[in-house]
Amino acid sequence: MKQSSRRRFLQQTAGLTASALAAPFFPAILEADSQGRPHRQPDVQFPTGPAGRLAVASYPFRAYITGGAGQRMHKPKAPAMTLLDFPAMVVKRFGVHGVEPLSAHFSSTSVSYLGQFREAVEKAGAFVANIPLDERFSFYHPDAAIRQQAVDTGKCWVDVAKTIGSPSIRAHIEGVRGVKPDVDRAAQSLTQLADYGASHNIVINLENDDAVSEDAFFIVHIIEKVNHPFLRALPDFANSMQSGNADFDYRAIAAMFHHAYNISHAKFGEMADHDRYVSVDVAKTIGIAKAAGYRGYFSMEWEGPGRDPFAGTASLIKECLKDLSSD
C-alpha cells in the first residue's frame, strides 16, 4: 500500500463500505451485534468439517500472480493470473473455498479494485480467511514515529480487511539492526492496533516468521502482556524449524497454538536457506493444534524444492484433510 494518510484511505473506501459492500460476505466481521453493541470478542463461526477449515495462500503462487508489488515476482514464462483470478482458481483446482491473499498481490486499495476483488471472491463461492501483510515496520523501534508507522499501516489494512470481508490481518514485526526485540515497546504499539481491530471486529495476528524479531516465544510474551482478545498468534508449521532443533519447533508451535484464533499456515517444510530444506511432521503438528483446542483455519502455504506450487498444494491439502479427519 502506498504511504498515504489514513484519512485519505478512509475517504477512498467509505463509499464502497456504505454501498454494495454494506453487508459483509463473511458474517464473522459484523461490527456490532444485533442490538448495536460493539463486539468484545472476535466471533468467527468456524466450519466443523475438515474441508471447510482449509484455505490456500496466494504467497506460494507469487511467480504466477501479476499486478501490485507481486508484478516483480512474476516469471515471464509462467502462466499469469491476477489476484482477481485467484479465488476461482483455488475453488476450481483444489476444491477449497478459503483464500488468503498477500497484501503485495493487491493491485490497488481503491474503492473500485476492492469491490472487484470482493465480487470475485463471492462469485467463486469463496471467502477470505486472512490478509498477510507484506509491509514491514518495527513495532519495537526506539523511534516512536517509526512505531507509529507500523500502527498506522496496520490500521489501513484493517480497513481493507473490513471492506473485503476478511476476519483478520497478519502484521509483521520487523527487526531493527543493533536493537534487541523489546516486549514493552511492541506491546504498547500492538495494543493500539488491537484496539482499532476490535472496533471493526478484525483480529490482528502475529506469525513466527523471523527467528529474532518474530521468534515464537517473543510473540507469545507480547500477546500475554497485551492480553487483548483481538491480538492473536498465527502458528506457521515450519518457520521455527529453521533453527534446526525439532524439539524447539514443536514447543514453539504448541505455545503459538495456545494463543491462536482463526488462522495458521500449514506446510510440509521450509527452505531454511538457499540449499537446505527443513521438514515438519504435519500429522504431529495438527495433533498439537487439536490438543490446544484450535478451531480455526489451516491455510496451505506450500514451500519446497522440486515441485510447482499447484502439485505441492494439492498434496498438502490431501495430507491435512487426512490428519484433520483422524481422531
C-beta separation of 198 from 161 below 8 A: no
pTM for the model stands at: 0.88
pLDDT at residue 103 greater than cutoff 90: yes
Instruction: Check residue 29 and give its pLDDT.
Output: 43
The three three-digit cell numbers of residue 142, written as one number? 526506539
Check: CB of residue 162 under 8 Å from CB of residue 199: no
Beta-carbon contacts of residue 220 (< 8 Å; ≥ 6 apart): 233, 255, 256, 258, 259
Helix or strand or coil: residue 168? strand
**Contact between residue 48 and residue 30 where contact means Cβ atoms under 8 Å apart:** no
Nearest to 164, CA basis, from 19, 24, 311, 9: 24
Kindly report which listed range (47-56, 152-161, 268-277) carries the lowest average pLDDT score: 268-277
CATH code for residues 55-325: 3.20.20.150
pLDDT value at residue 326:
87
Q: Is the pLDDT of residue 322 over 90?
A: yes
Reading the block at residue 175, the C-alpha cell is 527487526
Three-class DSSP category at 32: strand
Q: Tell how far CA 176 is from the center of its chain.
A: 22
